Structure 1
Amino acid sequence: MNTNTIKQQWFGNIKGDILSGIVVALALIPEAIAFSIIAGVDPMVGLYASFAIAVTIAFFGGRPGMISAATGAMALVMVTLVKDHGLQYLFAATILTGILQILFGVFKLARFTKFIPRSVMIGFVNALAILIFMAQLEQFVDATWVMYAMVAGALAIIYLFPRVTKTVPSPLVAIIVITIIALMTNSDVRTVGDMGKLSSELPAFFFPNVPINFETLKIIFTYSIALAMVGLLESLLTASIVDDMTDTESNKNQESRGQGIANIVAGFFGGMAGCAMIGQSVINVKSGGRGRLSAFVAGTFLMFLIIVLGDLVVRIPMAALVGVMIMVSIGTFDWSSIKGLAKNPVTDSIVMVTSTVTTVFTHDLSKGVFAGIILSAIFFVAKISKVKVNSTYDIAAERRTYFITGQVFFASVTDLIASIDFKETAKEVVIDLTHAHVWDDSAVAAIDKIVLKLRENGTVVRLHGLNEPSSHLIDKLAVHKQEGAKLSGH
């Protein structure tokens, strides 16, 4: 990376990055606390993680403007580990997660994200939007009309203030105004302090207090591999979404390595594993954040808020932050996808809805994405498994020619075999594969079966028009060749 690029990524949008970073820091606090509660750990574990990851990823990540911190998807994976083995094993698993993610980056596994269909990504985004909105609903349980009024006021400021000026991010204005109103009126509404107790201590470097042996590795490895995969999946998909929002590109392999380094740092400073956050990334981008400085400011200002302004932070009404997060869910949801349900191919719409529904019901982003990928693969195989077989008969030569068109592989061989008349009385049969491709051993086995069964009737069988890869595969695997079948026309 050259000097100009580094300068641009850090100082090309100073005002926007600083202001957006402040907004993100305020929104990070209740989420980090909530995710800590999900994982069954002290709120400061999530806050320390968010600080360490956000600051570290600012330097080492491959997607400027994207926010990474403690997340709900990762917290869900940790629950059993913390319950069965305790907090120190979580720190060890977090460090191992980082090491695995660095290896994923080194071996450039990020390139496999190209196999995730657009319909799955849209389903992923819509599910996140729904989950973000659903997570806010618990704040309304047993709430008074004041809570509803403040949320409505926050949303009004968020959407109307930009008409006055876009110099200051409207979510930041909403948080400040609603907080001032709550303090002046002594409103009885839930505050950040009600989410969990905050400590005014900086995180300290330490080694996890676990035995360094194979037994420890056995305990943490399965959790670490799950955390590494879920974290990278969410991070790389979020990076792609931010790419689209900002019309810029990012280095996905560098992002993998950066996420790994960030998690190692988090583990050594008493934090839980984390990854990119689509909600906070959307807040950042919509508030004007574009560069690495925004993530750095978000992390450092988060610690500043907790250490220096902790007494004030705990008095911020949750209504203000709920308003911001509802704005995020509305902005995150791909509303055009609803109209697209009627226009897109039915299979694409089914994949999108399946990804969304699976994620929402399981609260697990990875399960939703994997369900979508598997369903897409099934539909794709179904689409390309249709082979067309036509035949002609030359009376003078007593020769039947079968013209095969399509992809010959495990899913299409049944139809191919069913299209051949094995009671053929012709002296010679030509299987013309000029417009076909032989992909796997199932295809070769099917061709073997066709040739050998026809030969039982005393028929001479020739394969014609094989392309080079198909010919090579048949030469290597076919049984009928070894029994003297005649091949030609490669």
Structure 2
Amino acid sequence: MISLSAYRQQWFGNIRGDLLAGIVVALALIPEAIAFSIIAGVDPKVGLYASFSIAVIIAFVGGRPGMISAATAATAVLMITLVKDHGLQYLLAATVLAGLLQIGAGLLKLGRFMRYVSRSVMTGFVNALAILIFMAQLPELDLGKPDVTWLTYALVAAGLAIIYLFPRITTAIPSPLVTIVLLTALVAATGWDVRTVGDMGALPDTLPVFLIPQIPLNFETLLIIFPYSMAVAIVGLLESLMTENIVDDLTDTRSDRNQECIGQGIANTATGFIGGMAGCAMIGQSMINVKSGGRGRLSTFTAGFALLIMVVGLGGLVGQIPMPALVAIMIMVSIGTFSWSSIKALRVHPRSSSIVMIATVVTVVYTHNLAIGVLVGVLLSGIFFAGKIAQLFRIRTDLSSDGRERTYVIEGQLFYGSTEAFANAFDFKEAVDRVVIDVSRAHIWDISSVQALDMAILKFRREGADVELIGMNKASETLVDKLAIHDKPGAMEKLMGH
């Protein structure tokens, strides 16, 4: 539990840097929050309210000072089908439930399991997210639609040019914001007929108010929203905890993973009750914050609060932003999110790591579910790891000079992946009086290995040999004493019955 003085320091230890960084992040959040709303198929105000709410709340209850959380593409892409089939109210309910699931994960201290997500899975997760963000822009580039013309492509190209070339002039102003201002002014001046943010739905003109999602409170509703809520909760925590690791490394500080899970849950639950969509930590915006000098909770709070003030006060101007400007920004986000170095690394990384990364990407893109892709990646990582450990297992054997005693020396990890090699190493038909199984250089891990040990000892005894098991470490001895049956009455009968 953090002390009061440490918590106060996280708020007021870097006031000037946090305020300035928070304002820069707020400017950069506006176009992305609107774009993420459009990805999910809801009014821009849903994403804007969410970004305000999540950023402000996570500033108080999060576990990582200086990290920016708001509405994100990672959670937005998961809600597309729910909104299309059932509408906004179900999205709000799913957001509340996702938050409750995240709170539960934090209370159960599931944040520690992040250590089992390999770097290959993380890379695949990020690459798949980038691809999904790009795919979400394709409807805005479909020439088959009456309101999409070659002018749309020209404006998108102009937007990308500004985004990537303007930083060569100055980095004091975020290039996405410059893109919005210039393209909005150009379209307004020329009167070109292109889709605008105002065409996508209403923008907020008032502060958010408390509301309860208008849905039937029954089991059928739960069955509808639960899969989406579970996916959002898992993906949101994965991206938040990965971003937390990155910010930890950049700032050379440590943070509380389980508190971050709880904080993300509280923020999402509250956001669902003010008309906002689910969100999580943002890798890109967190990098902007840290590189702009933001280190404390005040920077996150400032980003959310300034965002709401700017949007409510400038809503009329925001509604005139042309959609091609947002498409250009999201393409930039997609390109920046994708780990291009991972493509080159395919030639030098171990084949198993590359397979895990590619499988994660393919699964996510095919299912449009980041949680399923991460699950597949983690399972493959576990299988490959078990295979590598099993290959390090070996057994040496020595026969005494008189030919009456055989010693088997076990080396490595004895677990379900190495039990077959363990069983095949013994010659049960050899006519010896005594067998010694030396496990002083091994570790016994699971019930499969204990059963294999039972089987070997009992088979030797069945052939008339005296068997001695030596060298067990404390942990292995505890497991064997608890699960083994070779010294229990009726063990031989059980073997014969088996």
Q: TM-score range by the shorter chain?
A: 0.7 to 0.9
| 1:306 CA drift (Å) | 4.4
TM-score under structure 1 length normalisation: 0.87
Q: Measure, in 2, the Cα distance between the counterparts of 1:3 and 1:282.
A: 23
The yes-or-no answer on 1:328 pairing with 2:333 is yes
Number of aligned residues: 481
2:480 corresponding residue in structure 1: 474
* 1:14-25 alignment, distance < 5 Å: 14-25=19-30
Work out the CA distance in 2 between the residues paired with 1:280 and 1:32. Answer: 17
What is the CA-CA distance between 1:12 and the residue it aligns to? 2.5
Q: Which residue of 1 aligns with 2:417?
A: 411
The structural deviation recorded for 1:122 is 1.0
Q: Secondary structure at the match of 2:395?
A: strand
Q: Which residue of 2 aligns with 1:150?
A: 155
| Equivalence for 1:101 | 102
Deviation of 1:384 after TM superposition, in Å, equals: 1.2
Q: Which runs of 5+ in 2 are unaligned?
A: 1-5, 492-498
User: Does 70-79 or 306-315 show the bigger shift?
Assistant: 70-79
> Shift of residue 181 of structure 1?
1.7
- 1:363 positional shift: 1.7
Alpha-carbon distance in structure 2 between the residues aligned to 1:179 and 1:26:
12
Partner of 2:3: none
Which stretch shifts more, 230-239 or 335-344? 230-239
Is 1:395 the counterpart of 2:393? The answer is: no
**Aligned partner of residue 137 in structure 2, secondary structure:** helix
1:284, distance to aligned residue in structure 2 (A): 5.5
Q: Give the C-alpha shift of residue 465 in structure 1.
A: 1.6
Note the alpha carbon deviations across 1:97-139, whole angstroms, 9 max, x for none.
3233223223322111011001111111111222222222332
Where does residue 496 of structure 2 map in the other structure? none
Q: In structure 2, do the counterparts of structure 1 residues 294 and 362 end up closer, same or farther at CA, with 3 Å as the change threshold?
A: farther
Pick closer, same or farther for the CA change 1:367–1:238 going to 2, 3 Å: farther
Identity of aligned residues (%): 56
SS at match of 2:139: helix
CA deviation string 1:379-400 (max 9, x = no partner): 1111112321221111325111
Asked if structure 1 preserves the Cα contact closer than 8 Å seen for 2:78 and 2:369, the reply is no
Amino acid of the structure 2 residue aligned with 1:272 = M
Residue 261 of structure 2 is aligned to residue 256 of structure 1: yes
Aligned equivalent of 2:464: 458
Distance 1:286 1:193 in 2: 33
Secondary structure of the corresponding residue to residue 346 of structure 2: helix
Matches within 5 A, 1:263-342: 263-278=268-283, 280-281=285-286, 291-342=296-347
Counterpart of 1:446? 452
Determine whether 1:57 maps to 2:62: no
The more displaced of 414-423 and 193-202 is 193-202
Matched, 1:28 2:33: yes
Question: 277-286 or 467-476: which moved more?
Answer: 277-286
Shifted more, 148-157 versus 126-135: the winner is 148-157
TM-score (norm 2): 0.86
CA RMSD after TM alignment: 3.0
Aligned residues of 2:413 and 2:445 also touching (Cα < 8 A): yes
Asked if structure 2 preserves the Cα contact closer than 8 Å seen for 1:20 and 1:289, the reply is: no
Following the alignment from structure 2 to structure 1, what is the Cα–Cα distance between the partners of residues 448 and 330? 52
How far apart are residue 297 of structure 1 and its match? Answer: 4.4
Amino acid at match of 1:191: T
Aligned residue identity for 2:261: S
Segment drifting more, 223-232 vs 353-362: 223-232
Partner in structure 2 of residue 186 of structure 1: 191
1:190-201 equivalent positions in 2, closer than 5 A: 190-201=195-206
Unaligned runs of 5+ in 1: 486-490
1:171 maps to 2:172: no
Indicate how the Cα distance of structure 1 residues 191 and 208 shifts in structure 2: closer, same or farther if over 3 A, else same. closer
Shift of 1:230: 3.1
- Contact 2:125–2:361 (CA under 8 A) maintained in structure 1: yes
